Amino acid sequence: MRRRLFGSVRSRATLAATLVVAVALVAAGTAVLLSLRSNLTGQAGTDAAGAARAVAVELADGRPYAKLTGLDDDDRPVQIVDEKGTPVAVSKDLQKISGTGVDSVRPRPSTVNKDRSGGRDDSDDSGDGGSDDSGDGGADDSPKPGEIASDTGYTNGSATVDGQRADYRFASVRVEFEDRGRLTVYAGAPLSAERSAVGTTTTVMLIGFPLLLAVVAGATWLVTRRALSPVEGIRREMAAITASEDLARRVPVPATHDEVARLALTTNETLTALETSVERQRRFVADASHELRSPIASLRTQLEVGAAHPELLDLDGAVHDTVRLQVLAADLLLLARLDAGERPGQARFDLGALAREEAGGRAGVSVDAPDAELPVIGSKGQVGRVLTNLLDNAARHARSAVTVSVREERGEHEEGDWAVVAVADDGDGVAEADRERIFERFVRLDEARSRDDGGAGLGLAIARDVAVRHGGTLTVDRAPAGGALFELRLPRAR
């Protein structure tokens, strides 16, 4: 079941799209949460820094601890410690603190007493009405102004104010005094807004993401179903064609002008080519059967007559029919090998020498071939068969003479120049309307059939197939003497 479920393109596309969107949502959600937390934490840090600097400004101005306005804010806990890490002042109702490095929230008693006396220690008062034991004679004991440091430190921690514990972002600011040394002011801003916003956003994402993924999966499923419906139509039609073996049918072509439409067009082109090939094969088998039936019937008749009446046996006719059968069988075998895609050989031979060899000994045939070698690469036997077929065809239609000429021709194709063999006769030639038709299998023109001495109409078809498979061409035109001019062009070997 699982294999079937994920075996379709639609299910795989839906799964892939859902996974991609899920990864993107997780990445985007993580980025949003981190950015939100960073922004809100930064805002809390800014608020804490503002509160810490406000207290630091009051300290630097010499204001006593008991009169610092920042110590009265219940929302922002403040802790002031000296350079020894001892608290000297804390905000009211502060019961516990962590994250500042100093957990104590109890200021030094001497500091508190000094603050309450306006900067003087009550334990140092004498009974003479306020004279100083040091003998300074009423010198000023007020705190001297300090210098605030430019940098601000940040930490996270917690604090308990009036029994309520909460998380805070603490900012620390240093103040340097000549008489009291260095004091550090810690002020906190609550992180409740950050925690609430992040929590709410996380909850929304946990609820919204699955719903969004469900929508994406459903939309992808419907879209791919609609997009692939033409493919299913093509599949059904191909299955029907296979079952009925009716190659005349064609698959539907959607009006979308996309890849599916191009697939349908290519499928129809393939069906057309297949139909043509099958029809050609059927016609070939029918024509071959017809061509074989005549010599076989004639040969059988002669043998039956010879068996009954030996004195009436036409031995020459029987040999002639046997030769016809042998030639026709060889032609059919060669065509079958060519149709099967047999690749030509890679032998190197001289086309001019081969033309002289094939034309040698034929009456009325003249050869004009250069002495210089004109090499080509391929099957020497198949190319020789082409020249034989062309010479036989020319001999059947010529009135008196056949001319064979070999030349090299400059070409513009990538392989270089052409090696050309031209076979011309002085017969009636081939009408322009029939110049392509004569290269079809089992095609014989009426005039040619009337003078045919046994040909089956395969010679020119074989010649063109061999020429094409050697990378060349075979064409027919009008000869200077008025007959037919066949030109075989093959790529000249480099």
Contact 81, 87 (CB under 8 A): yes
Phi-psi category of residue 457: left, alpha or beta, with phi > 0 → left and psi -120 to 50 → alpha? left
Count the neighbouring beta carbons within 10 Å of the beta carbon of residue 296.
Answer: 13
Q: Residues 6 or more apart from 289 whose CB is under 8 A from it?
A: none
pLDDT at 303: 84
- Domain range 345-491, its CATH number among 3.40.50.720, 3.30.565.10, 3.30.360.10, 3.40.605.10: 3.30.565.10
CA distances from 414 to 23, 197, 471, 473 (A): 52, 72, 11, 15
CATH number of 247-342: 1.10.287.130
> What is the block-wise mean pLDDT of the chain (494 residues), using blocks of 10 residues?
61 91 93 92 92 91 86 86 90 89 80 43 37 38 71 92 90 88 92 90 92 92 86 89 88 86 91 86 78 80 83 79 82 81 86 92 88 91 92 90 91 72 92 88 60 64 91 92 92 87
Which SS3 state, helix, strand or coil, does residue 126 take?
Answer: coil
Q: Where does CATH 3.30.565.10 sit in the chain?
A: 345-491
Contact 194, 37 (CB under 8 A): yes
pLDDT at 20: 94
Contact 5, 221 (CB under 8 A): no
How many Å apart are CA 90 and CA 74, to the nearest integer? Answer: 11
pTM score of the predicted model:
0.51
pLDDT at 138: 37
- What digits encode the pLDDT tens for the residues 51-60? 999 999 998 8
Q: Where does CATH 1.10.287.130 sit in the chain?
A: 247-342
Contact 115, 226 (CB under 8 A): no
pLDDT at 319: 83
334 phi/psi in degrees, rounded to 5: -65, -40
pLDDT at 126: 35
Contact 492, 418 (CB under 8 A): yes
